[in-house]
Amino acid sequence: MKIRIRAFIVLFVFLVQMQGVACTIFYVSRDGVILAGNNEDWEDPSTKMWFFPPAGNKHGWIKFGFGSGFPQGGMNDQGLFWDATACS
């Protein structure tokens, strides 16, 4: 029994030390109102925001991302929200 308790404690300490870097995305709908959002759990201090005004037959939109120039998420002027996520 003592071996099981010790193994559990070691496993617990090991799992607590692991740091998650997953992004969170939420979506809530009630009475015709829709809210969506996200956060980027990343350590890059060089975050960016790009604005694209409507042009021709294209909607305007905003993108959020990092210094690499790769967008992580955004929304168009009609309220369409998108975000990139990955699992490991």
Q: Is residue 27 part of a domain?
A: yes
Q: Is residue 63 part of a domain?
A: yes
Q: Is residue 11 part of a domain?
A: no
Q: Does 17 have pLDDT greater than 80?
A: no
pLDDT at 11: 72
Q: Is residue 49 part of a domain?
A: yes
Kind plus residue range of the DSSP H or E element containing 15:
helix 2-17
The residue segments making up the domain with residue 28 are 21-80
- C-alpha of 10 from chain center: 31
Q: Does 55 have pLDDT greater than 60?
A: yes
Digit-coded pLDDT (tens) for 67-84: 877 888 889 999 888 887
How many domains does the structure of the chain reveal?
Answer: 1
